[in-house]
C-alpha cells in the first residue's frame, strides 16, 4: 500500500484517467445476455472480460453481492478480480455496503479495508446503525490508506422514510454527510466519501465534505449526465459518477465494452 491516502490517489486517478466509476455487476440476466452460464464459470468469465475492458480507467466497483451469491467459489473469483484490477493500475471500490457494531464491524473492517485478500482501495458502508458504529472500519481504512464511501442518500424509494427524516432541522442524510466531513481534514483530498443517488431531486449538501461523492444510477437507471453539474453543491473534481448497466449491456465484446465506457467517461468529464 502506498503512503498516500485514498483521497489523494483518487484525485490523481481522476486527472489522469477521467471521473468515472465502472461497475462489475454480474447479475443473472446479464450473464445470460452475454451467453454465459449462471454459474461460477460464467461469473469468472464475466469478471475477466470486465477487467480487460476497464484497464486504464480510474475506478472499478465490483458489486460484492453478485459474487457472494456463489459462496466460497464466488468469493474466490472476487479475490482474483480485485487483484487483477489493482495490478492493472485501477482503483478498486468494493461495493459491500457493510454495517454492524463492535467486534463484528471490526471483522468486516479487516476483510474489506485491512490486509485480507478481499481488501480493496475503498469500500462502501452503511451508517444506519449509527454513524459511530462505523468507527472500526474508518480506523482500519485510515491505517491502511484506504477509503470509505458512506451511504447518505440513496435513490430507492424505501430509503426516503429514514434518510429524509428531520433531526433538529437537518435530514438524517445531511447528518451523515456532516459526520463524514468532520473526518476529512482541510487541505489534501479526504478519504471518507459519501454516496448520493443520481436521481434524487433534493440531495444533501456536500459542499463542505472535502471528500469524494459516489453518484450511482447514471445512465440506464435514469440519472442524466447533464444533471451532474453542481449536484448536491459539489465542487469541481468532487463527484464520481458510477455507471454499470449502461456500459455492461454492450458486452460481451471487450472492444464494445471499452467503447461504451469511454463514451460515458467523455459525457461526464466536464460536468463533475
Are the beta carbons of 241 and 272 closer than 8 angstroms? yes
- Per DSSP, the three-state class of 96 is strand
Are the beta carbons of 183 and 209 closer than 8 angstroms? no
Looking only at the bridges linking them, the beta strands covering 166-167 and 170-171 are: antiparallel
d(CA 143, CA 100): 20
pLDDT digits over 192-229, tens only? 999 999 888 899 999 999 999 999 987 656 567 667 87
Q: What is the CA radius of gyration of the chain?
A: 17
**pLDDT for 219:** 61
Looking only at the bridges linking them, the beta strands covering 147-153 and 122-125 are: parallel
- The yes-or-no verdict on residue 190 having pLDDT over 70 is yes
d(CA 235, CA 240): 12
Banded model confidence at residue 3, pLDDT cuts 50, 70, 90: low
- Provide mean pLDDT across the span 155-171: 93
179 or 200: whose pLDDT is higher?
A: 179
The pTM of this model reads: 0.95
CA–chain centroid gap for 67, Å, is 16
Task: Please identify which residue in the block is written with the cell numbers 457472494.
Answer: 68
Catalytic residues: 97
pLDDT digits over 53-106, tens only? 999 999 999 999 999 999 999 999 999 999 999 999 999 999 999 999 999 999
C-alpha cell at 234: 459539489
Q: How far is CA 5 from CA 23, 82, 204, in A?
A: 22, 19, 25
- Provide mean pLDDT across the span 247-259: 97
**For the chain, what is the mean pLDDT?**
94
**pLDDT for 73:** 98
Q: Under 8 Å CB-to-CB from 127, ≥6 apart: which residues?
A: 99, 133, 134, 150, 151, 152, 176, 179
pLDDT digits over 142-162, tens only? 999 999 999 999 988 899 999
Banded model confidence at residue 230, pLDDT cuts 50, 70, 90: confident
- Provide mean pLDDT across the span 226-251: 90
Banded model confidence at residue 271, pLDDT cuts 50, 70, 90: low
**pLDDT for 229:** 78
pLDDT digits over 6-48, tens only? 999 999 999 999 999 999 999 999 999 999 999 999 999 999 9
Residue ranges and CATH numbers for the domains of the chain are 6-268 (3.20.20.70)
Q: Under 8 Å CB-to-CB from 133, ≥6 apart: which residues?
A: 99, 100, 101, 105, 127
Amino acid at each position: 500500500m502506498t503512503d498516500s491516502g485514498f483521497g489523494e490517489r483518487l484525485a490523481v486517478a481522476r486527472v489522469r484517467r477521467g471521473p468515472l466509476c465502472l461497475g462489475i455487476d454480474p447479475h443473472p440476466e446479464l450473464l445470460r445476455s452475454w451467453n454465459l452460464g449462471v454459474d461460477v464459470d460464467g461469473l469468472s468469465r464475466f469478471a475477466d472480460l470486465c477487467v480487460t475492458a476497464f484497464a486504464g480507467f480510474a475506478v472499478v466497483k465490483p458489486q460484492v453481492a453478485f459474487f457472494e451469491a456463489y459462496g466460497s467459489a464466488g468469493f474466490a473469483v472476487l479475490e482474483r478480480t480485485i487483484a487483477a484490477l489493482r495490478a492493472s493500475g485501477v482503483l478498486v471500490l468494493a461495493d459491500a455496503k457493510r454495517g454492524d457494531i463492535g467486534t463484528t464491524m471490526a471483522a468486516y473492517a479487516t476483510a474489506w479495508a485491512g490486509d485480507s485478500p478481499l481488501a480493496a482501495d475503498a469500500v462502501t458502508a452503511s451508517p444506519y446503525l449509527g454513524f459511530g458504529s462505523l468507527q472500526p472500519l474508518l480506523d482500519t481504512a485510515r491505517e491502511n490508506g484506504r477509503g470509505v464511501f458512506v451511504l447518505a442518500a440513496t435513490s430507492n424509494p424505501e430509503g426516503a422514510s429514514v434518510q429524509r427524516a428531520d433531526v433538529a432541522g437537518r435530514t438524517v442524510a445531511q447528518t451523515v454527510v456532516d459526520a463524514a466531513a468532520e473526518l476529512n481534514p482541510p487541505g489534501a483530498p479526504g478519504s471518507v466519501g459519501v454516496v448520493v443517488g443520481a436521481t434524487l431531486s433534493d440531495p444533501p449538501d456536500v459542499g463542505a465534505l472535502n471528500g469524494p461523492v459516489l453518484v450511482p444510477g447514471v445512465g440506464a437507471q435514469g440519472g442524466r449526465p447533464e444533471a451532474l453539474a453542481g449536484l448536491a453543491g459539489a465542487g469541481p473534481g468532487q463527484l464520481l459518477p458510477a455507471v454499470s448497466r449502461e456500459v455492461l449491456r454492450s458486452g460481451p465484446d471487450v472492444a464494445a465494452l471499452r467503447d461504451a465506457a469511454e463514451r460515458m467517461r467523455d459525457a461526464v468529464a466536464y460536468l463533475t
